[in-house]
Amino acid sequence: MNSSQKPLVTVVGALSKQGRSVVQTLLQSQRYRVRALTRRVDSREAQELARLGAELVAVPLELGHKPLFVEAFQGARAAFLMTPPIAPDANYAESDEAPLGKELADAAVEAGVEHIVFTALENVDSITAGKKWVPHFTDKGRVEEYIRALPVTSSFIYMAFFYTNILEYYPPRLEGDTLIFPLYLPENHRAPFVDPLTATGPAVLEILDNREKYAGQSLPVIGEFLSPREIVDTFSRVTGRKAAYSSAFTREELVQHFPSFAGMNALVDEVVGMAEYAVEHGYYRPNRDTEWSRRVNPASLTWEQFLKATGWQGESARFGLPQD
């Protein structure tokens, strides 16, 4: 197949952890062309994607740019859609996340895209009958519902907790000779985790290679189920460093470990609500196929493999947003 015959896929958030994985995997398969959307077309990360063959287009992943989105989706057979991390301004305030997801989907349909893959999550509001407030889950669930009603085929991936959260957002701190890991789940509660940098692309490639098979499906993407105790013990075994868990499950514990969260009530409520939801209801609805992603991508990294692959020793790291 010569290059112009390969189907084009537009990837929004192409420099995000998820987006980069999608762009790299699709291009490495040599079965797709990729149009990669980012604000930072001149950045080193964007230029790396261009070297792999991506067409870079400067589009911000922000509400209110529908004409730019429509243009960026023109000629694309499929689109990978995501919404960026959007911290809530105030409790129960509506953020831009759901309107942005809907605007992206509308633009894709208007441009004639045949298949949308949206990275969604469970609708926590409906699962908990409004008892847990976790807008970054619920808003994605609402966008999924909206996309399902549009005249386009669609599939949804549900990423597990990212391993990278521990490096980017909740890094351990050194006390004496021990690294203390403040984690937002109870010590022995097992939850699904994944490496977004390497697991997102293979899941999306599998869907795009088999669009009819996966039409209408919602598919978890998981590396493995882990408890905080297993996270810390594995870290110690792999790195040889002393490490200990410390609970950041309750609001008080979370703020005590991360004093910078103190003034950010909505963010704290959201993180606490998310952790309580995961413990009380499970991260995924019970009927989800939690084996799918490993079946289609047996190379998906376990936490141990992630630690070995990255050589992470406990320092704070950034993978997503530009450094300030």
Ligand X SMILES: NC(=O)c1ccc[n+]([C@@H]2O[C@H](COP(=O)([O-])OP(=O)(O)OC[C@H]3O[C@@H](n4cnc5c(N)ncnc54)[C@H](OP(=O)(O)O)[C@@H]3O)[C@@H](O)[C@H]2O)c1
With contacts defined by CB under 6 A, name the span among 32-40, 123-131, 145-153, 222-230 that binds ligand X.
Answer: 32-40
Name 155's Cβ contacts closer than 8 Å, sequence gap at least 6: 115, 116, 117, 118, 207, 211, 214, 215, 216, 217, 218, 219
Exactly one of 84, 171, 186, 282 binds ligand X (CB under 6 A); which one? 84
- Does 153 bind ligand X (CB under 6 A)? Our answer is no
Provide the 3-class DSSP secondary structure of residue 239: helix
5 CB-contact burial (10 Å; exposed 0-12 / middle 13-18 / buried 19+):
exposed
Between residues 88 and 320, which has the closer beta carbon with respect to ligand X? 320
Between residues 82 and 152, which has the closer beta carbon with respect to ligand X? 82
324 CB-contact burial (10 Å; exposed 0-12 / middle 13-18 / buried 19+):
exposed
Positive or negative: CA dihedral 120, 125, 126, 127 = positive
- Does 35 bind ligand X (CB under 6 A)? Our answer is no
Q: How far is the CB of 177 from ligand X (least distance, A)?
A: 29
Between residues 83 and 297, which has the closer beta carbon with respect to ligand X? 83
Exactly one of 10, 24, 25, 38 binds ligand X (CB under 6 A); which one? 38
- Does 141 bind ligand X (CB under 6 A)? Our answer is no
CB 228 within 8 A of CB 235: no
With contacts defined by CB under 6 A, name the span among 149-157, 227-235, 279-287, 315-323 that binds ligand X.
Answer: 315-323
Provide the pairing of β-strand 224-226 with 78-81. Answer: unpaired
Exactly one of 9, 15, 54, 157 binds ligand X (CB under 6 A); which one? 15
Phi then psi dihedrals of residue 86, to 5 deg: -125, 110
Q: How far is the CB of 13 from ligand X (least distance, A)?
A: 5
Q: How far apart, in whole angstroms, are the C-alpha atoms of residue 123 and residue 80? A: 20
Quick one: the chain helix, strand, coil %, rounded to 5? 45, 20, 40
Between residues 178 and 305, which has the closer beta carbon with respect to ligand X? 305
CB 94 within 8 A of CB 132: no
CB 226 within 8 A of CB 193: yes
Applying the rule CB under 6 A, the residues between 192 and 211 that interact with ligand X are 196
Which uninterrupted H or E stretch holds 126? helix 124-127
- Does 165 bind ligand X (CB under 6 A)? Our answer is yes
- Does 67 bind ligand X (CB under 6 A)? Our answer is no
User: Torsion-angle region of residue 196: left (phi > 0), alpha (psi -120 to 50) or beta?
Assistant: alpha
- Does 162 bind ligand X (CB under 6 A)? Our answer is yes
Q: How far is the CB of 234 from ligand X (least distance, A)?
A: 18
Question: What distances in angstroms separate CA 300 from CA 158, 194, 318, one per listed residue?
Answer: 15, 8, 21
> Binding-site residue total for ligand X (CB under 6 A)?
26
- Does 89 bind ligand X (CB under 6 A)? Our answer is no
Q: How far is the CB of 39 from ligand X (least distance, A)?
A: 3
Residue least distant from ligand X (Cβ): 320
Between residues 7 and 219, which has the closer beta carbon with respect to ligand X? 219
Applying the rule CB under 6 A, the residues between 265 and 304 that interact with ligand X are none
Between residues 11 and 208, which has the closer beta carbon with respect to ligand X? 11
Q: How far is the CB of 4 from ligand X (least distance, A)?
A: 26
- Does 40 bind ligand X (CB under 6 A)? Our answer is yes
Q: State the residues that interact with ligand X by CB under 6 A.
A: 13, 15-18, 38-40, 60-62, 82-85, 121, 136, 159, 161-162, 165, 196, 319-322
